[in-house]
Amino acid sequence: MKILVAVKRVVDHNVRIRVRLDGSGVETTGVRMSMNPFCKHAVEAAVQLAESGQAREIVVVSIGPRPANDVILTALAMGAHRGILLETDAPLETLAIAKLLAKLVEEEHPDLVLLGKQAVDDDSNHVGQMLAALTDRPQATFASQIERVGAALEVTREVDYGRETLSLPLPAVVTADLRLNTPRNATLPMVMKARSKPLVVRSAADFGVDLAPRLQIENISPPPERVAGRSVASLAEFAAAIAAEVNEMEAL
Amino acid sequence: MSVLLLADHDRGELAPATARLVAAAGGLGPVDLLVVADDPAPIAAAAATLAGVRKVLAVQGPTTAEALANTLERCAKGYQSVSASASSTGKDVIPRLAAKLDIMPVTDIVAIAGPNRFVRPIYAGNALETLTDPQPLHLLTFRASAFRPVAGGNAAPIESLDFSIASAAKLLAAHRTQTDTPDLATAQIVIGGGVSVGSAEGFQLIEKLGKTLGAAVGATRAAVDAGYAPNDWQIGQTGKIIAPDLYIAIGISGALQHLAGIQGARKIFAINTDPEAPLVKLADLALIGDLFEIVPQLIAELDRLSLASRTG
Ligand SMILES: Cc1cc2nc3c(=O)[nH]c(=O)nc-3n(C[C@H](O)[C@H](O)[C@H](O)COP(=O)(O)OP(=O)(O)OC[C@H]3O[C@@H](n4cnc5c(N)ncnc54)[C@H](O)[C@@H]3O)c2cc1C
């Protein structure tokens, strides 16, 4: 089985972001960037499939500016075999990303495409589903378990009512949730080794995909602030406050 | 603008959040609800009672993302918007349908700012994006918790549509969490437990407090990862978004990703040993102390108070 994993470089999830005062966006200059956490789980899943002899090659792709090479290197250090950067400095919408990935699927013919279920910057949760549609493949989003059963995958998904298990014929698209696995930390020797793995850079503009945004972002603003509350000294006071809230609800 | 809205359901019942979604979609124009299920009739009947629904379309068929996207595509003609809840179903289906129709979707909408202007949170709710969607067809998901529910009392006509929908993916098994606590997404009171609750037994204490107050019970990712609580109790960036009148957070630090799920709560109360915990700082009211001492006493005290109010 050949696996294509798509990874995104985002503001590190531990960074407390700052919204620019002019409403133009979130400050990203001078901010620590790293691989989107969900993408890490996707890479780890691919590497585990390779380690258990169920995948032969893992190709990792990222779409973004030149420094996105860093997250490809992280994936190569974790165990992916080769990398592709589709370089663009423009922020692309998820639909354009999915179209670029679909072009790559046409070239690479992976049996499985693994992605993170969402990116922690735009929180869109679109790309895997879109890619599945564009390549006419079945999808399993929010995966917490992936098992290969003959020519099919059995994927357990985290859904609002609990979990459900789907059977998907290959080729298919799967998006990773956080409980899928525990991503390994790349050790220094792994990182050194990754530098000698093939990594090609191609221009996103060369794929014949219309990359122009469809939506017009007008403004990015901070959320309303909550007013700070207070601590109470006694349990009786706390309980009385809860009871008062409940009474108010019942009165309405 | 007329809207085709996909209705969520579980175990043969219409999702309680549907009344809120009808309110959200109703902000754009007349709403037709689509029910796709093995047995859509009882769900469609419930959907038809919601105020503001113009008609209900009922389709018998599978509910994988592929099947739902194909069904919606077949029904989409004549609508200016095809919408769903930002639930696990809506998130699965709407982007797939959008790519099929070559439309860029707008998802997790928390406010409608104009006929084609929407507000959605990004960065785990730490920023709000306002955008205009100039496309001829709007593919949207709404966060139910951000909208007030419509009333009942309607008797919209129900139309059964008959067509067969294929899906390469097949549902093998559904694993449901057995619980009799209210729906998290629409509950008026929610009790949340953190990893410091320490065990699944510890969570029974949290559930007991929930019962006392008729509240839904949620958890942090750390508590779910540890196996103390089921995954569908997770509240936050990758879990459920709640907007109760009262959220009581017990032994929860208040990580950004957890706060992402509770910003819509009207009041937040916290119980924590650490007065410096971010959630304590953010809470309207906090009680500093050990949850294992406080929660049993709190249950007793609340029992006493409600007894007093009933007899008094
Ligand atoms: C990509 C990503 C997505 C995530 N999504 C989510 C999400 O959706 N939801 C979510 O919740 N988290 C999410 N997380 C995890 C999040 O970052 C935190 O790790 C998690 O919320 C912490 O859970 P906690 O508050 O239970 O644990 P901790 O942070 O360990 O806090 C425990 C708290 O309990 C208090 N405490 C300890 N003992 C007691 C006691 N005896 N009595 C009272 N208080 C006590 C401590 O003072 C502390 O405040 C995500 C993380 C990432 C990277």
Same domain, B23 and B150: yes
Atom of ligand 1 nearest to the CA of B277: 49
pLDDT at B312: 43
Nearest protein CA to atom 37 of ligand 1, as residue: B196
CATH of the domain at B210: 3.40.50.1220
Contacts of B185 in chain A (CB under 8 A): 160
Q: Which own/partner contact pairs does B198-202 have at CB distance under 8 Å and 24+ positions apart?
A: B198/B228, B199/B228, B200/B227, B200/B228, B200/B229, B202/B228, B202/B292
In angstroms, how far is CA B117 from the centroid of its own chain?
A: 22
Name residues of chain A where pLDDT drops below 70. none
Cβ distance of A163 and B280 shorter than 8 Å: no
Cβ distance of B124 and A120 shorter than 8 Å: yes
Range of the domain at B139: 3-161
* Tokens (6 digits) for B173: 């098994």
CATH of the domain at B22: 3.40.50.620
Write the pLDDT tens digit of every residue in B138-183: 999 999 999 999 999 999 999 999 888 889 999 999 999 877 889 9
Cβ distance of A126 and B105 shorter than 8 Å: yes
> What order do you get walking across the sheet with B111-114 strand by strand?
A216-221, B127-132, B117-122, B111-114
Contacts of A161 in chain B (CB under 8 A): 10, 174, 176-177, 232
- The count of CB pairs under 8 A between chains A and B is 256
pLDDT at A226: 86
Quick one: average pLDDT of B276-290?
Answer: 97
pLDDT at B80: 98
Instruction: Please name the residue of chain A whose CA is at the shortest distance from the CA of residue B104.
Output: A95
pLDDT at A186: 87
Domain boundaries, chain A: 2-207
Q: With 0-12 CB in 10 A as exposed, 13-18 as middle and 19+ as buried, what is A8?
A: buried
* Tokens (6 digits) for A182: 């525990």
CA dihedral over A169, A93, A96, B101, signed as positive or negative: positive
Please state the domain count of chain B.
Answer: 2
Nearest protein CA to atom 31 of ligand 1, as residue: B253
CB B135, CB B104: distance < 8 Å: yes
CA distance A134 to B309: 61
Q: Tell me if residue A22 falls in helix, strand or coil.
A: coil
B298 closest CB neighbour out of A164, A220, A235: A235
Strand partners, B81: B3, B138
pLDDT at B311: 52
**Strands A152-159, A162-169: pairing kind:** antiparallel
Q: With 0-12 CB in 10 A as exposed, 13-18 as middle and 19+ as buried, what is A224?
A: exposed
pLDDT at B309: 65
Query: Which residue from B92, B108, B101, B176 is spatially nearest to B147, judged by alpha carbons?
Result: B108
Write the pLDDT tens digit of every residue in A134-183: 999 999 999 999 999 999 999 999 999 999 999 999 999 999 999 999 99
CA distance B65 to B232: 19
Cβ distance of A122 and B122 shorter than 8 Å: yes
Closest approach of A96 to chain B, Cα-based (Å): 9
Write the pLDDT tens digit of every residue in B8-34: 999 999 999 999 999 999 999 999 999
Helix A94-108, helix B88-100: angle, nearest 10: 70
pTM, two decimals, is: 0.96
A139 closest CB neighbour out of B96, B126, B129: B96
Cβ distance of A162 and B287 shorter than 8 Å: no
- Ligand 1 centroid, distance to A83 Cα (angstroms): 35
B96 closest CB neighbour out of A130, A169, A223: A130
CA distance A239 to B174: 39
Q: Which helix or strand (DSSP H or E) is residue B98 part of?
A: helix B88-100
Q: Tell whether B181 is covered by a domain.
A: no
**Strands B117-122, B53-60: pairing kind:** unpaired
Cβ distance of A13 and B257 shorter than 8 Å: yes
Same domain, B154 and B12: yes
Q: Which CATH number fits domain A2-207: 3.40.50.960, 3.40.50.620, 3.30.499.10, 1.20.1530.20?
A: 3.40.50.620
Contacts with B16 (C-beta within 8 Å, 6 or more apart), sequence order: B183, B185, B186
- Ligand 1 centroid, distance to B206 Cα (angstroms): 16
Same domain, B8 and B152: yes
CA distance B260 to A18: 15
**Strands B127-132, A216-221: pairing kind:** antiparallel
Same domain, B142 and B95: yes
Q: Tell whether B109 is covered by a domain.
A: yes
Query: Which residue from B22, B134, B39 is spatially nearest to B83, judged by alpha carbons?
Result: B22
Query: Which residue from B138, B218, B131, B136 is spatially nearest to B183, judged by alpha carbons?
Result: B218
Q: Tell whether B175 is covered by a domain.
A: no
pLDDT at B310 over 60: no
Same domain, B122 and B231: no
Contacts of B170 in chain A (CB under 8 A): 166-167
Atom of ligand 1 nearest to the CA of B223: 26
Same domain, B140 and B267: no
Same domain, B153 and B260: no
Same domain, B206 and B254: yes
Q: Tell whether B75 is covered by a domain.
A: yes
pLDDT at B261: 96
- In this structure, what is the dihedral angle of CA atoms B67, B169, A100, A14, given to the nearest 10 degrees? 100
pLDDT at B68 over 80: yes
Q: Tell whether B137 is covered by a domain.
A: yes
Measured CA to CA in angstroms, residue A123 lies from A6, A36, B71, B120, B133 at distances of 16, 11, 26, 10, 18
